[in-house]
Amino acid sequence: MKFERSSGILLHPTSLPGPYGIGDIGPGAKVWVDFLTNAGIGLWQVLPLGPTGYGDSPYQCFSAFAGNPYLISPDALKADGILSDADIQPLPAFPTNRVDFGWVINWKVKLLEKAFSNFSSRSFPELKAEFARFQSENASWLQDYGLFMAIKDDHAGQPWTTWEQPLRDRHLDALNEAGNRLRTEIVRQMFWQFLFFRQWSAVVHYAHSKNIKIIGDIPIFVAHDSADVWSHRELFFLDKRGRPTVVAGVPPDYFSPTGQLWGNPLYKWSIHKKTGYAWWISRFKAVLKLVDIVRLDHFRGFSGYWEVPGKAKTAEKGRWLPGPGKHFIRAVQDGLGSLPIIAEDLGVITPDVVELRDSFHLPGMKILQFAFDGDGKHAFLPHNYIPNCVAYTGTHDNDTALGWYERAAENEKDFYRKYFERDGSTFAWDLIRGVWGSVAVFGLAPMQDFLNLNNVARMNYPGNPSGNWSWRMQSNSLDPQLAAKIRHLNLLYNRLKV
């Protein structure tokens, strides 16, 4: 797919302002879309939208197909008559600058349980017909997901590998017994999925009406404790008890002397190939029902990936193995008809990765914040970009622009000051201008950089098991003057969407 020159802002829905302790996909999301429209922005980038588990990471979800019920909007449920003001009040005094996940999840689950109770006990003929259609249209993954989550709740949230052996190994009689015993809980989980998809679809429709496209994200790996692995064990390297025999990670480098041990189970690519990559194609199609463009995370893993023994404590001892390569990308292309994909090609990129990316004309990523530790030949400096790339000031995985500058080595600061002929007082906006003025087809920045926020607003520290993903934007941040400033920049650099 050929992209058109445009600009975008990276902001996950959890970071949206609102009174309910976590950003959601109700009226506040439409206010955000209005801000993007006023700013002349054509792209809204989000992180994975799946149901988060341990560590609240959108990259470790209970399903690669499901949506995150914590994003469901109470206001939208009130508008549908599923909840009343009395159901929501009294509202806890949630912090407005961050998500307190433990607090808000406990409150929101009870609220969603009330919504299901109201829906089940009252007459909603149109909604119930719509829910029935949703179940039918998503039967390929929804029933397994609902059953997985219901059994998991019945086991106090314990991983599926700790369940009784018949449930762990999906014996038919055990699944039927659990399905009958937990029928209400299963339907409740499916109902929450219905609400998520219904609300998100309304947000997407509204964005499209404003000529805004949404960039989503597909993590290359899935969480071990997920409906995907439990229900498709044949696609992963697991032992007889369902535990990974080998796991994903990256080897030691300059930034991490012991590497990064991600712990996700690795794919049996030979089995995927025999099926024509059916599971992967279904995954792409599911995500592309939610978004318009997909950032394919850890793209280099499709060319070659680092395999670590399942019981390893670090990623130091492992080996490189070939990924599925061109055969996989070609199968995805045949399944989709086009490739609305951005290749996340960061890290140590070898010629085989470049060749795989370029063979399918996929745009890679450039991160301007990383460009100041060398000389004028650095590939991430704007004068070295090519049109078929996507340029960022930074991403969710690194510090905010201001946070970086406040901690950067003096030689890097000096290179930046000489490159832009600036004194450092407008660093974040200098990076934005550098990206926007480049030939890159898409120029993007996290909302934190437009707000010139420091390290306190950082979204994620890779490798930290907790304390991430919690930053929230304040409601007064969506300032008309800021929108006008961004719109002027889009006009100057031919990225304006009207």
Q: Is 452 helix (H, G, I), strand (E, B) or coil?
A: coil
Spatial separation of the C-alpha atoms in residues 293 and 216, rounded to whole Å: 6
CA neighbor of 216 nearest in space, from 494, 10, 2:
10
Q: Residue 110 CA to chain centroid, in angstroms?
A: 25
Tokens of 473: 């934007």
Strand arrangement, sheet containing 319-322: 260-265, 246-250, 304-309, 319-322
Contact 89, 52 (CB under 8 A): no
Whether 397 is a known active-site residue: answer: yes
Give 455's contacts (C-beta < 8 A, 6+ positions apart): 399, 400, 402, 403, 406, 407
Give 331's contacts (C-beta < 8 A, 6+ positions apart): 276, 277, 280, 281
Spatial separation of the C-alpha atoms in residues 99 and 278, rounded to whole Å: 37
Contact 143, 149 (CB under 8 A): no
CA neighbor of 222 nearest in space, from 213, 231, 212:
231
Spatial separation of the C-alpha atoms in residues 133 and 128, rounded to whole Å: 9
Contact 435, 445 (CB under 8 A): yes
Q: Which of 144, 228, 344, 449 is catalytic?
A: 344
Contact 435, 393 (CB under 8 A): yes
Spatial separation of the C-alpha atoms in residues 283 and 50, rounded to whole Å: 12
Q: Which of 24, 297, 399, 430 is catalytic?
A: 297
Spatial separation of the C-alpha atoms in residues 444 and 53, rounded to whole Å: 28
DSSP state of 308: E
CA neighbor of 107 nearest in space, from 118, 117, 99, 97:
99
Longest dimension (CA), the chain: 71
Spatial separation of the C-alpha atoms in residues 201 and 181, rounded to whole Å: 32
Element (H, E) at 8: strand 6-10
Whether 344 is a known active-site residue: answer: yes
Active site residues: 297, 344, 397
